[in-house]
Chain A
Amino acid sequence: MSRRWLIVIIVLGLSGCSDDAATPERPDVIHLRAWAHAGQAAERRVIQAQVARFNERTPDVDIKLTLIPERSYNAQVQAAAIAGDLPELLELDGPYLYNYAWQGHLQPLDGLLPGDLSNDLLPSIIAQGRYRGRIYGVGVFDSGLGLYASRRALSRAGARIPGGPADAWTAQEFTALLQALAAHDADGAVLDLKLNYPGEWFTYAFSPILQSAGADLIDRNGYQSADGVLNAPAAVKAMTTLQAWLRGGFVDANVDDGAFVTGRVALSWAGHWEYARYAGALGDDLLLLPLPDFGHGTRTGQGSWVWGMTATGKRAEAAARFLRFLLEPGEVLAMADANGAVPARQAAIANSERYGDGGPLRLFVEQLTEGYAVPRPQTPAYPVITAAFQQAFFDIRDGAEVRAALDRAVAAIDQDIADNKGYR
């Protein structure tokens, strides 16, 4: 009886070893693996079509694409990185790029991207991909973050409509606006901050408040400490204002993610991905406005998925060809049309309905090209920074003393940087 089971176990083991069908590799073709995040259906279709088209176009390079669910993407990449099992080409969630570069997994892309391409890319894309002076990642699209509003509700409250980023509401104006709107609102909640979203959103969407106030997440000279920056008086003041909005009943819990589209709130602090849904619900009543100015001008978030490369030598050349293909204006536009994001190239933007001149989302382009968008800190310490900021945000939302919450975040960040010997 026990022998029978021994056989079963052996068979299992053998079957386990042979479940990855081995495709015979032709010697004259370079085989590369690529990982991408499995986003919305349209996005997936585009990337799959792109890989197919590239393979056809370049017979001496063959790319095998694996799509990995978005929510678990970072975790899976990290696990593969530790196991030494990363593919030659892979997407990375923007601000996590630096940690992988520091770990030594990524190869620099300098020299592999032609000059005219680099000049045509949005400055935000270059900024996001740079670590220690070299480019480790390049994005095909960037993100946009702003304040969607209902024109009718604003005019009912007698608010002025900002014409552009230079003209944004100040934080005080915004607070007064919230109160004016709340006077006409059934439950007093007039602002949607997407409190139902998962973790990274909070750093992406609300750290710009710090920068707008003249503070920041960390001292970007050397990235060695957050003390005096994240817990600076300006930061404390800005986050206290945010806390007042949250605790004052002005913010909808948004459990159903429908506060704005059902008209419960007049304002929604959201990203480019909401445009389609919002436009569908509000039509001409929809406005896109810059985020409030906390003293040093409006600031907004930026950054999204980037492509990185682990391949070296000849394989690096081949991988770079794929990246250059993805960055062709036509391809960039195809992806941006599919996921609604900001195309990474000016050439593509010019041809985009949404982002071209006069397009409804032109504000996002302005923000990215005119310096209103701030990249999340380009440091390997980013995972810890974002975890600490999120924790601080949640504590502040739940009524903690702002200075203490920010101090705790600073302590966690500084401790981590010290533990990692400054991430040198």
Chain B
Amino acid sequence: MTRAAWLFAAPALLGLLLFVALPFVLAFVLAFTNLRLGSPLPLEFVGLEQFHRIFSDPAFLRALLNNAVFALVVVPVQTLLALGLALLLNRRLKGLALFRTLFFMPVVFPLSLVSVVWILIFAPGANGMMNAFLETVTLGAWQPRDFLHDPVLALPAIMLTSVWQGVGFQMVIILAGLQAIPGGLYEAAAIDGASRWRRFWHVTLPQLRNTLIFVVLVTTILAFRLFDQVQIMTQGGPRNATTTAMYEAVQAAFARQQVAKGAAITVVLFLIVLLVTVLQRRLVRQEREIA
């Protein structure tokens, strides 16, 4: 069995090794140097200098905080929303396929394009679509705001854009998981007289467990990789209110040509996310034991 297993897994493992693991190890090594993009000066090892610099950089520390807040809000919101939508759409009703497509559409459009549209939506002044919408909904109580330049509203604006884009993504995966639940289980529960709620709680959720764990894990990881919207909509502003670790890393490596510093940021980010996901998985395992 072992030989067959290795044969099955080998091509993928080789690919990951060569094209992800290897460059990452290289990046890890680079974090201890002073490499700059295109510089003709010789490469030097500088030990922990880059790490020292990033931890004394208020922008980076704020970025980590923003990433944490973002993850803590977006992961539950997006997952619950995706679960709700998937449940609503997991029926054999006519026309639901259309809705599936509609909810999935935000995922289909490239983020770079969509972010531009969101800039228009968040435009300041009473004419901005979001401002107009909120004014209508609150019956005139809302004062127009410049969302993307407001220190309090900027990060929520980015969160909204992310949730909007990501929900369809997660919904598709949860739907696949829902489809995998054998119908027989529901029938058995119905025969036992279980109500809709109990069927959900005792059949759907347990069967969905793996899928949900997957979705939460991936959403968490993606939350820490937040970059595109920040680059296009706020450039990390106002005054670091929306900067993220990846944004700082890309700015360092590409805008300021400090490749080594960018590498150091990604190494730190990697370790943090690793910690978070290990904790998450440990937590889930414990729950399994208790149940």
Query: Do A and B form a real pair?
Result: yes
- Considering only residues 72-94 of chain A, those with a C-beta below 8 Å from chain B are 75, 78, 81-82
B38 touches A103 (CB 8 A): yes
Partner of B235, one of A383, A394, A420: A394
- Inter-chain CA distance A187–B124, complex, in Å, is 12
Q: How far is the CA of A387 from the CA of B149 in the complex (A)?
A: 19
A253 within 8 A of B: yes
Is A109 part of the contact surface with B, judged by Cβ < 8 Å? no
Of chain B, the residue at the smallest CB distance from A415 is: B53
Partner of B125, one of A81, A253, A420: A253
Give Cα A181–Cα B255 distance, bound, in whole angstroms: 38
Q: How far is the CA of A99 from the CA of B238 in the complex (A)?
A: 30
Q: Does A253 lie within 8 Å of B124, measured CB to CB?
A: yes
Does B146 interact with chain A (Cβ within 8 Å)? yes
CB distance from B154 to the nearest CB of A (A): 10
Q: How far is the CA of A99 from the CA of B257 in the complex (A)?
A: 11
The residue that A398 contacts in the complex, of B149, B251, B257, with Cβ under 8 A, is B149
- Known interface pairs A253-B125, A255-B119; A398-B39 also in contact (CB < 8 Å): no
Residues of B within 8 A of A82 (CB): 37-38
Contact check, B36 vs A412: say whether CB atoms are below 8 A apart. no
State whether A78 touches B38 (Cβ < 8 A).
yes
**A398 touching B37, Cβ below 8 Å:** no
Determine if B38 and A420 form an interchain contact, defined as CB atoms under 8 angstroms apart.
no
| Given A82-B38, A253-B146, A255-B120, also A384-B239 (CB < 8 A) | no
A102 touches B (CB below 8 Å): yes
Docked complex Cα distance between A253 and B120 (Å): 11
A104 within 8 A of B: yes
What's the interface size class on B, roughly?
20 to 34
Q: How far is the CA of A130 from the CA of B276 in the complex (A)?
A: 52
CA distance A104 to B36 in the complex (A): 15
**Is the beta-carbon distance between B239 and A398 smaller than 8 angstroms?**
yes
Partner of A253, one of B123, B238, B239, B251: B123
Interface set, chain B 112-166, CB cutoff 8 A to A: 119-120, 123-125, 128, 146, 149, 151
Q: Once the chains bind, are A398 and B38 in contact (CB under 8 Å)?
A: no
Residues from chain A with Cβ under 8 Å of B182 in the complex: none
* Residues 401 to 417 of chain A near chain B (Cβ within 8 Å): 412, 416
B237 to chain A, nearest CB (A): 5
Give the residues from 228 to 263 in chain B that come closer than 8 angstroms, CB to CB, to chain A: 235, 237-239, 251, 254-258
Main secondary structure of the interface of A (DSSP, over half): helix
Interface size on A, residues (CB 8 A): 26
Report the Cα distance A400→B149, complex, angstroms.
13
A337 interfacial by beta-carbon distance below 8 Å = no
Question: With A99-B38, A384-B257 as given contacts, are A255 and B123 in contact (CB-CB < 8 Å)?
Answer: yes
B170: Cβ under 8 A from any A Cβ: no
Q: Per-residue 0/1 for A113-151: is the Cβ within 8 Å of any B Cβ (1 yes, 0 no)? A: 000000000000000000000000000000000000000
Complex formed: what's the CA distance from A387 to B251 in Å? Answer: 9
- What's the least CB distance linking B122 to chain A, in Å? 9
Q: How far is the CA of A329 from the CA of B40 in the complex (A)?
A: 38
State whether the Cβ of B34 lies closer than 8 Å to any Cβ in chain A.
yes
Given A398-B237, A398-B239, A416:B256 Cβ within 8 A: yes
Looking at the assembled complex, report how far the CB atom of A409 sits from the nearest CB atom of chain B, in whole angstroms. 12
B41 at the interface (CB under 8 A from A): yes
Residue contact A421 to B41, C-beta cutoff 8 Å? yes
Chain A min CB distance to B145 (Å): 12
Complex CA–CA separation, A82 to B259 (angstroms)? 13
Which chain B residues lie closer than 8 Å to A75 at the CB level? 254
A231→B238 CA distance, assembly (Å):
21
A384: B residues at CB distance < 8 A = 256-257
| Chain B residues with CB under 8 A of A2 | 7
Nearest chain A CB to B248 CB, angstrom units: 12
Please list 17 pairs of residues, one from A and one from B, whose beta carbons are closer than 8 Å in the complex, sorted by A's number: A2-B7, A78-B37, A82-B37, A103-B40, A104-B40, A253-B123, A253-B125, A255-B124, A383-B256, A387-B251, A387-B256, A395-B239, A398-B151, A399-B239, A400-B239, A412-B256, A416-B258
Ordered nearest first, which 4 A-B pairs have the shortest CB separation? A398-B238, A255-B123, A387-B255, A398-B239
Interface residues of A (CB under 8 A from B): 2, 75, 78, 81-82, 99, 102-104, 187, 253, 255, 383-384, 387, 394-395, 397-400, 412, 416, 419-421
Knowing that A253-B125, A255-B120, A383-B257 are A-B contacts, what are 7 other residue pairs whose CB atoms are under 8 Å apart, sorted by A's residue number?
A78-B37, A82-B37, A255-B128, A398-B151, A399-B238, A412-B256, A420-B41
